[in-house]
Amino acid sequence: MNKSLLLALSAPFVLLALPSCSVQPTAADYDRMAQEMMKNSFVARGIATMDRLNPDQANDLCAQAEVAGQQLDDKTAQAIQAAQMKTIVPPADGRFLGDWREGELIAQSGRGLTWTDVATAASGGNCFNCHQITKAEISFGTLGPSLLNYGRLRGVTDPNSPEARPIVEYTWGKLSNPRAYNACSQMPRAGHKGILTQDQMRHVMALLLDPESPVNREVAN
């Protein structure tokens, strides 16, 4: 191997090692190194651009707390939630619910946002990946709580009634930006990050809240 190639290959590692040469690297150093390594090895392709590697304030603070093995302090958590709450956009026409059948297809689909997808293609919500949602689908993740009987358990008999409004608004907010309610939520910010369109969110809302949806017609466990 020629000398300049060797130098070029080793340069990132030398740079990464420098800040911590005299003392043991801390967890934060390792975190920084990991970020540098990702930046050096990822390339922008199609719609998968490098800005995805830039953490926003919430990601940054939550990652720092996790690396330090600590919980976020209440004040920081509340500041993140307040800032994230401001990103929630209510449905343009005031309609919160669409068609649960469409919603189930969206919840099932984990497709989207890779470099082989085009910007105009609709993405999936990937909800089953983390939640039990219907009894019929037996393949689901358990990172998030079960959403079986989501509307029924919350007493929603008519999602368009004034009584249902608080839970309808909360669910819309949660789908838009879960960090507005839980600063370091692991759930994707489907609305805020443009993963789902408002129409798609309406369909997923119906899946969770329409009394006719299979979600609310399941016999309780």
Binding site for ligand HEC (CB under 6 A): 107, 125-127, 129-131, 143-145, 147, 171, 174-175, 178, 182, 185-188, 190, 204
Q: Minimum distance from CB of 208 to ligand HEC (Å)?
A: 6
Q: Which is nearer to ligand HEC, 174 or 192 (CB)?
A: 174
Report the interhelical angle of 198-209 vs 165-176 (nearest 10°).
130
Identify which of residues 39 and 52 has a Cβ nearer to ligand HEC in the complex. Answer: 52
Question: Across the strands, what pairs with 45?
Answer: 48
Rounded distance, CA 105 to CA 109, Å?
6
Instruction: Give the side-chain half-sphere CA count within 13 A for 153.
Output: 11
* Beta carbon nearer to ligand HEC, 12 or 144: 144
Q: How far is the CB of 186 from ligand HEC (least distance, A)?
A: 4
Min dist. Cβ of residue 185 to ligand HEC (A): 3
Give the residue with the Cβ less far from ligand HEC, 131 or 202: 131
User: Residue 155 CB, nearest distance to ligand HEC (Å)?
Assistant: 13
- Between 64 and 182, name the residue whose CB sits nearer to ligand HEC: 182
Indicate the residue among 144 and 211 with the shorter CB distance to ligand HEC.
144
Q: How far apart are CA 69 and CA 98, in angstroms?
A: 41
| H helices present in the chain, as ranges | 3-17, 27-41, 57-67, 74-85, 100-108, 150-153, 165-176, 198-209
Q: How far is the CB of 110 from ligand HEC (least distance, A)?
A: 8
Nearest to 213 by CA among 141, 137, 125: 137
**DSSP code, position 133:** -
User: If you ran DSSP here, which 8-state letter would residue 11 be given?
Assistant: H
Distance of closest approach, residue 65 Cβ to ligand HEC, in angstroms? 15
46 in Cβ contact with 116 (< 8 Å): yes
